Amino acid sequence: MTDKGQIYKIHSDFYYVNSNNDNFECKLREVLKKQKQKIVVGDYVEFENGAIEKVLPKENYIPRPNVANIDQIVVVSAVKEPELDFKQLNRYICFAKYYNIPTKLCFNKSDLSLDDTTIEKVFQIYEPLGYDIVFTSAKENDGIEEFKEILENKISVLCGNSGVGKSSLINAINPKFNLRTKSVSEKTERGTHTTRHCEIVKLTENTKIVDTPGFSNLRFDFLMPAEVGDLFDEIAKYKGCCKFADCLHNTEIGCAVLENMDEIDISRYESYLAFVEEAKEYKERVKYSGTKRERESNFKHTNDKISVKISSKKRESARNTTKQNIHKKFNEE
């Protein structure tokens, strides 16, 4: 009888499959090897007597780290040490958007934030965009329960720059993990051990995370400049509303985005422009080499929002509601 399970680790020719809480060491059937299909950590498979017979279709897939079927990406930032890097945060958010993976935001080292302007700014920018936000201090064990809750019953990929406290947060949830934590300065030195492979690990009884080598050098040099706007919800909602179809919302006349700049956070817009510049490199490359886009998968971001022209009156009221909500939030606290 065949069983169904999920690959949690791949090591040379061996595929480790979890099925009903049991782990199995498997190999691929010859037919699968011949098919040359991409089999990655996270894939659901059918197997029998230690042989994988079938790989089930992937729900989603990200190439680097190479993993499929994840439930969410949790972007971890530090509010200080290192200073909160909004552009990098937006980069992770857009990356997740591109691969259509739900995203949550964690802001760690809350013990270091002496004023709450950072907290205010975070809520002002990211709450209207619909992100779940959690503030934590791995050091003082603050917000860890909440952080644990957002990971529960899911397979999550934690991402964030080195030194923001990812390992510390994991240790705070489950001290048995005892991951090595390093100060920011130590991190810059070369030669530190880095995991090369992805592995799905059980953090608690009902929490799984992907242990990854991390996301390095994420640049938006694999899509066209005009596609970058799709990755920003507050820009994507004006899709089709600008005078020119190929509008990059930069200096063009009749640009609906520029006309509504008061609704868009400036740091988000700056990130947008920076990513457009990166995408221009791709455009140049395509132009001169004639290379076709290497479509990374069928899981390219699909913009499920229907773009409709909204009257400025309606936009006005939508904006007011958002502002009221933020206001309410702050007054409640």
Ligand X SMILES: Nc1nc2c(ncn2[C@@H]2O[C@H](COP(=O)(O)OP(=O)(O)O)[C@@H](O)[C@H]2O)c(=O)[nH]1
- One-letter amino acid at 277 equals E
Query: Whole-number minimum distance, CB 167 to Mg ion, in Å?
Result: 3
Q: Which does 249 bind (CB under 5 to 8 A by kind): Zn ion, Mg ion, ligand X, none?
A: Zn ion
Q: Which does 139 bind (CB under 5 to 8 A by kind): Mg ion, Zn ion, ligand X, none?
A: ligand X
Exposed e or buried b per residue across 280-312, where buried means at least 16 C-beta atoms within 10 angstroms of its C-beta: bebeeeeeeeeeeeeeeeebebebeeeeeebee
| Cβ proximity to ligand X, 6 vs 108, nearer residue | 108
DSSP-derived letter for residue 159 is E
Q: Which does 77 bind (CB under 5 to 8 A by kind): Mg ion, Zn ion, ligand X, none?
A: none
DSSP-derived letter for residue 81 is T
Q: How far apart are CA 204 and CA 156, in angstroms?
A: 12
Name the site residues for ligand X (rule: CB under 6 A): 108-109, 111-112, 137-139, 160, 162-168, 181-183
Q: Which does 242 bind (CB under 5 to 8 A by kind): Mg ion, Zn ion, ligand X, none?
A: Zn ion
Mark 155-174 with x for binding to Mg ion (rule: CB under 5 A) and - for no binding: -----------xx-------
| Cβ proximity to Mg ion, 188 vs 298, nearer residue | 188
Give the DSSP H/E element, type plus range, for residue 45.
strand 44-48
Query: Whole-number minimum distance, CB 255 to Zn ion, in Å?
Result: 3
Q: Name 325's Cβ contacts closer than 8 Å, sequence gap at least 6.
A: 127, 128
Name the site residues for Zn ion (rule: CB under 5 A): 242, 247, 249, 255, 257
| Cβ proximity to Zn ion, 9 vs 249, nearer residue | 249
Query: Whole-number minimum distance, CB 247 to Zn ion, in Å?
Result: 3
The residue with its CB nearest to Mg ion is 167
Tally: H helices and E strands in the chain: 10, 13
Cβ distance 69 to 42 under 8 Å? yes
| Cβ proximity to ligand X, 46 vs 85, nearer residue | 85
Cβ distance 12 to 26 under 8 Å? no
User: Which residues contact Mg ion (rule: CB under 5 A)?
Assistant: 166-167
